């Protein structure tokens, strides 16, 4: 298609166009020589009129970019905080265990020594714990191994610096126990579940004429000279079997999960206890008669409202924190309203 055709040379139209072009160039030259303030004003007028849609679009896009960057920054902050929380969780858990052990240690007194328990995890060493305390720390063979939750196991062998213990899942584990009210006595032993984590305790030898309700707390009875009285062992789940008309067996849900045993307390050798057991009289063997209840009946170390499994205790922590927070908010509100009334 044909474009524009220039007028014939020498025609008036061509001359007018050339003069017009020259006039435009003169105007452009004048604009170029304007003073700076005038130039700025003219430029501002053009920016605010003809270029306004484009500068507006630029502002919108820039704001969107900034918002995008801010959102990305915020996401990174959230990710970082999440990472920190995740990293803190094992630390929190370890802190909780240490605090628990500290509380228990204070309640049990100096007859107990803290130890780190290692689960070997090798074939043939199931149900065994390696303890980093031994004869040097004064622990004895058949000393109870406890956690904040309750009875974890018993020491089998000791050397000068370490010891080997079995947890309650060991086939040879046994303990003389009683119901919380002290009326029903029996023996607990390990029972195999469908898998290792399903192992449980059975309470055997309880009289047929007494019935333990589900949820009844079972404690060590102190009989047999191995475990002091009052260490929580587990709660009754259900009747396992009845042996004719003489005995009942119950399935117990233990307080201590063997897989989570890391920090424990081990009872040290108490000469008075051995002597008392030989003489069959605790009161005569103990020099300080006032002290023996706390040494040989440790039930006070596990108050009734604190007999919880680790997972139950962990679930309660946020509840406690929420309760404390709610109390703090209520106090703040009360203070605020009191201030307003004054």
Residue 25, interface with other proteins (CB under 8 A)?
yes
Give the pair of three-digit tokens for residue 91.
């630390």
State the minimum distance, in angstroms, from the CB of residue 76 to other proteins: 25
Nearer to other proteins, 42 or 183 (CB): 42
Residues in region 27-66 near other proteins by CB under 8 A: 27-29, 31-34, 39-40, 42-44, 46-47, 50-51, 53-55, 57-58, 61-62
Nearer to other proteins, 32 or 86 (CB): 32
State the minimum distance, in angstroms, from the CB of residue 340 to other proteins: 54
Angstrom CA distances, 132 to 150, 265, 326, stand at 20, 11, 43
Nearer to other proteins, 12 or 121 (CB): 12
DSSP letters for 190-248: EE--SSGGG-EEEEEEEETT--PPTT-EEEE--TTSSS-BT-EEEEEEEEEEEETTTEE
Nearer to other proteins, 35 or 123 (CB): 35
Nearer to other proteins, 28 or 183 (CB): 28
Q: Other CB atoms closer than 10 Å to residue 270's CB: what's the count?
A: 19
Nearer to other proteins, 17 or 95 (CB): 17
Residues in region 216-245 near other proteins by CB under 8 A: none
State the minimum distance, in angstroms, from the CB of residue 43 to other proteins: 5
State the minimum distance, in angstroms, from the CB of residue 62 to other proteins: 7
Considering only the C-alpha atoms of the chain, give the largest distance between any 2 of them, rounded to a whole number of Å: 144
Give 7's DSSP letter.
P
State the minimum distance, in angstroms, from the CB of residue 59 to other proteins: 10
Question: Which position among 5, 122, 160, 305 is part of the footprint of other proteins (CB under 8 A)?
Answer: 5
Characterise 310 by phi-psi region: left (phi > 0), alpha (psi -120 to 50), beta (else).
alpha
For residues 128 and 114, give the distance between their C-alpha atoms in angstroms, rounded to a whole number. Answer: 18
Strand partners, 220: 177
Contacts with other proteins by CB under 8 A: the residue count is 39
Radius of gyration of the chain (CA): 41
Spatial contact of 168 and 152, defined as CB atoms under 8 Å apart: yes
State the minimum distance, in angstroms, from the CB of residue 68 to other proteins: 15
For residues 100 and 302, give the distance between their C-alpha atoms in angstroms, rounded to a whole number. Answer: 11
Give the pair of three-digit tokens for residue 300.
């006070």
Spatial contact of 115 and 162, defined as CB atoms under 8 Å apart: no
State the minimum distance, in angstroms, from the CB of residue 40 to other proteins: 6
Nearer to other proteins, 9 or 305 (CB): 9
| Vertex 193 angle, CA 188 and 195, to 5° | 140
State the minimum distance, in angstroms, from the CB of residue 69 to other proteins: 15
Of the listed pieces 11-19, 93-101, 120-128, 133-141, which binds other proteins according to CB under 8 A? 11-19
Give the pair of three-digit tokens for residue 119.
């689960």
Residue 294 CB contacts under 8 Å (≥ 6 apart), including other chains: 109, 300
Residue 4, interface with other proteins (CB under 8 A)?
yes
**What residues make contact with other proteins under the rule CB under 8 A?**
1-6, 13, 16-21, 23-25, 27-29, 31-34, 39-40, 42-44, 46-47, 50-51, 53-55, 57-58, 61-62
């Amino acid at each position: 298609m044909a474009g524009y055709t220039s007028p014939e040379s020498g025609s008036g139209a061509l001359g007018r166009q050339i003069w017009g072009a020259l006039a435009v160039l003169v105007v452009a030259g004048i604009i170029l020589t304007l003073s700076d303030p005038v130039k700025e004003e003219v430029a501002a007028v053009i920016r605010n009129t003809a270029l306004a849609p484009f500068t507006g679009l630029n502002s919108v896009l820039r704001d969107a970019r900034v918002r995008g960057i801010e959102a990305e920054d915020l996401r990174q902050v959230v990710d970082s905080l999440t990472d920190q929380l995740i990293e803190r969780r094992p630390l929190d858990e370890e802190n909780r265990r240490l605090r628990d052990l500290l509380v228990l240690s204070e309640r049990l007194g100096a007859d107990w020594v803290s130890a780190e328990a290692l689960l070997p995890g090798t074939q043939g060493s199931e149900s065994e714990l390696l303890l980093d305390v031994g004869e040097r720390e004064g622990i004895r063979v058949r000393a109870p191994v406890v956690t904040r939750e309750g009875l974890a196991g018993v020491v089998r062998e000791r050397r000068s610096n370490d010891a080997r213990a079995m947890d309650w899942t060991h086939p040879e584990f046994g303990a003389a126990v009683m119901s919380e009210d002290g009326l029903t006595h029996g023996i607990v032993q390990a029972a195999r579940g469908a898998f290792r984590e399903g192992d449980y305790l059975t309470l055997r030898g309880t009289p047929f004429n007494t019935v333990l309700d589900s949820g009844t707390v079972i404690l060590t009875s102190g009989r047999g000279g191995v475990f002091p009285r009052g260490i929580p062992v587990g709660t009754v789940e259900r009747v396992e079997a009845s042996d004719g008309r003489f005995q009942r067996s119950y399935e117990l849900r233990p307080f201590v999960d063997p897989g989570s045993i890391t920090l424990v307390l081990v009872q040290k050798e108490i000469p008075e206890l051995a002597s008392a057991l030989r003489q069959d009289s605790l009161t005569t063997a103990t020099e300080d008669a006032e002290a023996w209840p706390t040494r040989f009946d440790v039930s006070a170390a596990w108050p009734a409202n604190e007999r919880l499994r680790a997972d139950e205790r962990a679930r309660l922590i946020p509840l406690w924190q929420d309760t404390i927070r709610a109390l703090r908010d209520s106090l703040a509100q009360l203070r605020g309203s009191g201030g307003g009334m004054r």
